Amino acid sequence: MTFDERLRNVSVIGAAGKMGSGIALLLAQEMAKQKLKPENKNVPYRLNLIDVNDVALDGLQTYLKGQLIKAGEKTTVLLRDLYKNREDLVENYDVIAAFVDDAMSLFRLGTDLGMAKNSHIIFEAVVEDKNIKVDLLKKLDQLTGKDAVYFTNTSSIPINVLNREANLGGRIIGFHFYNPPAVQKLAELIAADQTKPELKEMSLELAKRLRKTIVPSNDIAGFIGNGHFLRDGLHAIREAKKLADEYTLPGAIYIMNKVSQDLLVRPMGIFQLIDYVGVNVYQCISETVSGYIKGENLKDDLLAKMIQKKVLGGQRADGSQKDGFLKYEKGRPAGVYDLEKSEYKMFDPSGWSGEIDKKLGDYPKGIVPWRNLLMDPKKDEKLTVYFKNLNASNTLGAKLAKAYLKNSKEIGEFLVKSGVAKSAQDVNNVLLNGFYHLYGPINDYI
């Protein structure tokens, strides 16, 4: 069966979730393009969007329609070509409306797993729980023919474990999209020992069609992206705990977030990133990876304490950021959670946070915010100058930033040494493309 033939009947399980809905959007666009080819005129196409959450599925339909309109608006030239034989479509909005209708007609939404029966490609994007995933994969495998293949979006569970426990005989591969899947260019590809060679080839074809950059990762829990993120976050948490005696815990979290954003020239501070991913999701990655990697402490009780207080971060249905370690106003950090008082301590530039800023010291010369450097052709030159000045500085901020950079580099090198990544370049590519860093962790800046 060719890849195009497989693409005629696809299922996404967990379709109403954050990742599932984005994967559904990408597939809808690719499948609609296939369907519009003259040779496929009479071929039925189906995209089954399955989720246990009925209410969320209602929202999914509306979400997908809105996103398809936006995607259509960005690709009118391509759509005009696809619809060149439709003389009735005069204006751009006619063409976009036709495309949205065609894409929407692919969908079958529901809670019944049986809808996946005739699918030859299945995307699994349900919650990060091994038992739920294994149970689901087993059920799916009984429903579908033995030629069905599975792309799992797991962030941390080894693919070998899913393959073995669900008895899939190598018909599964980790295709780890980044959040949000429609925007992020990166996907990590993780093959189990038994993964069939043709499934690896299909994955490369899929990546090409969905315009994703693939970075291969070996099948070690956490893979490259979360392998780095988990350890990077734990470094910040542990440093914050050390600083808490002098600056209180909220003050120390404020410090580590600020240092990791401003002085490391990253798109967001580490605690903001943990909030973005979700404190509970981060905790879940920590628990899962800890279960598979022995001899390294990859847990911290601060996470459980936050979860106990139901301070979870993550996003609302409209994409806005929920409060977590930090409180957000108009999408920007405006306060920090005080576990002892169970309330947020708002930033106060003329009070406590201003005092901390003074203690962090002046920023080294040449510092440029991440946003300003993003599109700057002289980015690398400017970073080299800035990091040279950072290395020469001895302020509290500079010391913490240097220790942070060193730790991040050591994590990167460990991922290569322990066989998770094949090369330093693969580690750097994941951080550059999946986390929007301006430089990889394995660098000569430190």
Ligand X SMILES: NC(=O)c1ccc[n+]([C@@H]2O[C@H](COP(=O)([O-])OP(=O)(O)OC[C@H]3O[C@@H](n4cnc5c(N)ncnc54)[C@H](O)[C@@H]3O)[C@@H](O)[C@H]2O)c1
174 binds ligand X (CB under 6 A): no
> Among residues 287 and 355, whose Cβ is nearest to ligand X?
287
Cα gap 343→321, rounded to integer Å: 17
Of positions 128, 219, 323, 426, contacts ligand X by CB under 6 A: 128
Amino acid residing at 153:
N
In the complex, minimum distance from the CB of residue 435 to ligand X, in angstroms, rounded to a whole number: 11
Q: Are 153 and 13 in contact, with CB atoms under 8 Å apart?
A: no
Q: Would you count residue 78 as binding ligand X (CB under 6 A)?
A: no
Among 11, 155, 160, 408, binds ligand X (CB under 6 A): 155
Q: Which stretch binds ligand X (CB under 6 A): 39-47, 52-60, 289-297, 345-353?
A: 52-60
What element of type H or E holds 175?
strand 172-177
Indicate whether 277 belongs to the interface with ligand X (CB under 6 A).
yes
Beta bridge partners of 332: 329
User: Is residue 53 near ligand X by the rule CB under 6 A?
Assistant: yes
By CB under 6 A, name the one of 14, 233, 269, 364 that touches ligand X.
14
Q: What is the pattern of x (binds ligand X, CB under 6 A) and - over residues 215-244?
A: ------------------------------
DSSP assignments along 81-130, one per residue: HHTTT-TT--SHHHHHHHHHHHHHTTEEEES-GGGGTT-SEEEE---S-H
Q: Which of 11, 17, 279, 402 binds ligand X (CB under 6 A)?
A: 17
Judged by CB under 6 A, the stretch of 83-91, 127-135, 350-358, 404-412 that binds ligand X is 127-135
Residue 420 in the binding site for ligand X (CB under 6 A) = no
Q: Which of 10, 12, 16, 253 binds ligand X (CB under 6 A)?
A: 16
H-run or E-run covering 334: strand 332-338
How many C-beta atoms lie closer than 10 Å to residue 328's C-beta? 18
Based on the shown chain and the rule CB under 6 A, indicate whether residue 275 belongs to the binding site for ligand X. Answer: no
Q: Annotate each residue in 178-217 with x if it binds ligand X (CB under 6 A) or - if it does not, as one string.
A: xx--------------------------------------
From residue 371, give the alpha-carbon distance in Å to each of 27, 202, 268, 443: 31, 36, 10, 20
d(CA 106, CA 35): 9
State in angstroms the smallest separation of the CB of 245 from ligand X. Answer: 33
Show the DSSP H helices in 180-310 as ranges: 197-209, 225-247, 249-258, 270-277, 279-292, 301-308
The yes or no reply on residue 19 touching ligand X (CB under 6 A) is yes
Biggest CA–CA distance in the chain, Å, is 73
23 scored as a contact of ligand X (CB under 6 A): no
* Minimum separation from the CB atom of position 255 to ligand X (A): 25
Strands 107-110 and 46-50: parallel
Distance CA 36, CA 315 (A): 35
User: Are 29 and 181 a contacting pair, CB within 8 Å?
Assistant: no
* Residue placing its CB nearer to ligand X in the complex, 178 or 325: 178
Does residue 353 bind ligand X (CB under 6 A)?
no
Binding of ligand X by 346 (CB under 6 A): no
Q: Residue 433, interface with ligand X (CB under 6 A)?
A: no
260 binds ligand X (CB under 6 A): no
How far is residue 92's CA from residue 81's CA, in Å, rounded to a whole number?
A: 12
Strand order across the beta sheet in which 343-346 lies? 326-329, 332-338, 343-346
Position 143 contacts ligand X (CB under 6 A):
no
Stretch of residues binding ligand X (CB under 6 A), selected from 87-95, 171-179, 320-328, 424-432: 171-179
Site for ligand X in 106-125 (CB under 6 A): 125
> Is it true that the peptide bond before 181 is cis, omega within 30 degrees of 0?
no
Q: What residues have CB less than 8 Å from 19, skipping those under 6 apart?
A: 125, 153, 177, 179, 181
- CB nearer ligand X, residue 170 or residue 314: 314
Residues that bind ligand X (CB under 6 A): 13-14, 16-20, 50-53, 56, 125-128, 132, 136, 153-155, 176-179, 277, 281
